[in-house]
Amino acid sequence: MDARAIYQNLESWQKETALLGSIAGVLGWDQRVTMPPKAAPHRANQLAMLSGMIHQRATDPRIGEWLSQLESSELTQPPDSVPAVNIRQWRREYDKLTKLPTELVMEFTRVTSLAEKVWEEAREESDFRLFQPHLEKIVSLVREIAERLGYEREPYDALLDEYEQGMTAQEVERLFEPLRRHTPELVAQLQNAPRQPDTSILRRHYPREAQERFCRLIAERIGFDWQRGRLDPTVHPFATRLSPGDVRITTRYYEDFLNPSLFGTIHELGHALYEMGLPEEHWGTPMGASASLGMHESQSRMWENFVGRSRAFWEHFYPTAQEHFDALRDVPLDDFVFAVNAVQPSTIRVEADEVTYNLHILLRFELELALLRGELQVADLPSAWNEKFKAYMGFEPPNDAEGVLQDVHWSGGMIGYFPTYTLGNLYAAQLFEAAERDLGDLQAQFRKGEFAPLLEWLREKVHHQGQRYPAKELIERITGAPPSAEPLLSYFQRKFAPLYGL
């Protein structure tokens, strides 16, 4: 059998495995959006069975045989061609998965599926003790997974590599250090500035129905395709692609606070646009998948903050917002723009402003490192969280719900995930600078409601590349510089100093 026939066999096999994964995705979406609570144990068994089937297919010895034959063929050249990228990434995934027994994968899926519903209850009750035994099991499992996957320096590297290929904890610490040094100083300057925003205008009465209509309108005008997607409410917003024609986003509505639905929707929209922009013909292969979670987050944070919180964006959308919300009829545009860009330390990460957001990630990253290094026990997480939070923000969360229990990630076993959020902010700043160099005055385009040029640029430079390059290499190829915190810090100064009258 020649190399191309072998490649076709492997590609077909992997796409069938991806179909099973998409079925699990439907069950996961349903679990987080519409499933009744008492269905949790049965859903956990369903997902565990599916994860076992997927793992068995993904570790089938024939994959290793096919890859060995392909790796010595002409299909690996040039190295950035579609077959070469797929072969390289399939090998990477196969080598990882074959280190994990099917029983471990199934147990991990079962434990995390049950843990998510317990986390929701614990968060509702604001009682970490309800969730603690589940998280202890999860931490034990991820430690075992890290040991089986292997690492050079520390266990965290094996987990981080699952989300951000080739990145290590040491690299993350180096990239985050300028943010750790300069962010508290900037926050203090802004809090003591002569001009301060009136954020109470965002906490007036905003009817849920009006929020939903307005969020849907913004999503559509930016580029969301309602024939290929939907928007639903959930406890913790997320986006997921179930197939090339099925990309789903979620948000949450509070009638006494506009920000969560508005900017939550734009954030998840950024994720959805990336998924909708991936090459449809390559679905189920690495060339039809995102480069990394950090790159994914760069898309959501760019649309949420660099676009959605810009004055130019609201010059276009604010008259429509005033039509939707009586609460904004007496609010001048400048006051609204200042309010949605307020820098105020707060307890909830997903509602945090652009500047303090990264402090939330630093806190979580440091706690995860301590857990994996054995320097911190799960039982001590609430007190450790509050101590670090006070050091970064200047006050302690009032309860577990607004502190250690606020995020869904640990219930899903996603330790190593949080750094990708700030990596996404760094990538977004570099990409936005590059887009402005290539496309000219983006703010003038936003004022006219023209978002297609930026979206098409991102599709060419980022989305259509799939996993051709690791994220940090893709950033350097697009922008001409390796990942750095400097563009983001410069953006903060350019944006917030004028707003606050500094």
Sheet containing strand 246-251, strands side by side: 229-233, 246-251, 239-243
> Following CA atoms 226, 227, 228, 234 in sequence, which dihedral angle do they give, to the nearest 10 degrees?
40
Residue type, 240: T
Helix (H) or strand (E) holding 241: strand 239-243
Beta-carbon contacts of residue 136 (< 8 Å; ≥ 6 apart): 378, 379
C-alpha dist (Å) from residue 112 to 49, 60, 370, 471 = 13, 25, 21, 28
CA distance 432 to 301: 11
CA distance 295 to 274: 9
C-alpha dist (Å) from residue 136 to 36, 155, 328 = 26, 17, 47
Paired strand residues for 222: none
Please count the other Cβ atoms lying within 10 Å of the Cβ belonging to residue 337. 19
CA distance 131 to 199: 34
The dihedral through the CA atoms of 475, 413, 18, 162 has a sign that is positive
CA angle 237, 242, 247 (to 5 degrees): 55
Q: Can you read off the two tokens belonging to residue 461?
A: 């430079």
List the helix and strand counts (H, then E) for the chain. Answer: 20, 3
Per DSSP, the three-state class of 104 is helix
Residue of 294, 306, 224 lying closest to 265 (CA atoms): 224
Helix axes 419-439, 354-373, angle to 10 degrees: 140
Query: Active-site residue among 162, 268, 275, 433?
Result: 268
Active site residue 268: yes
C-alpha dist (Å) from residue 196 to 192, 343, 353, 392 = 9, 9, 14, 21
The residues annotated as belonging to the active site are: 268
